[in-house]
Amino acid sequence: AVVSTQSGHYGRGIQILFEIAQVVMVIAYNLAHFSPIEKFLLGEPGKGRGGLIDETLLVGPEQHDCVKRFELRLSIIRDKIHERNQDLEIPYDVLCPNEVPLTTQT
């Protein structure tokens, strides 16, 4: 009787761990996907991703030039990250500027 009680506890413990794992996977999946209208630090027009300057941002020439210089620096950082990731089996691009959203849309 002691063995069956212990195995019952183990079975329930495994079930709880399985349920926790499911919740964690759902949260991770949802956090890893962006809204289709999301704007990013470094836009990628070919992928339909807007950046700092698009049709919704009204700025003067001085601000526009400043943002363009910032985007140039971000593209250099992006290229360095891609270069470092070339030989990795699983690339680390969490902080890559074209993967960092400007705001939270949800």
Per-residue model confidence (pLDDT) at position 3: 45
Cα–Cα distance for residue pair 85/36, rounded to 1 Å = 26
- Quote the CA–CA distance of 4 and 9 in Å, as a whole number: 9
Greater confidence, 32 or 6?
Answer: 32
The per-residue pLDDT of the chain, averaged, comes to 76
- Please say whether the beta carbons of 104 and 38 come within 8 A: no
Quick: pLDDT tens for 83-97.
999 999 988 887 888
pLDDT digits (tens, 9 = 90+) for 12-71: 888 899 999 999 998 888 777 776 667 777 776 556 566 666 555 566 777 778 878 888
Contact criterion met (CB below 8 Å) for 98 and 41: yes
Confidence band for 106, pLDDT divided at 50, 70 and 90:
very low
Which residues contact residue 74 at a Cβ distance below 8 angstroms, ignoring those fewer than 6 apart?
Answer: 41, 42, 97
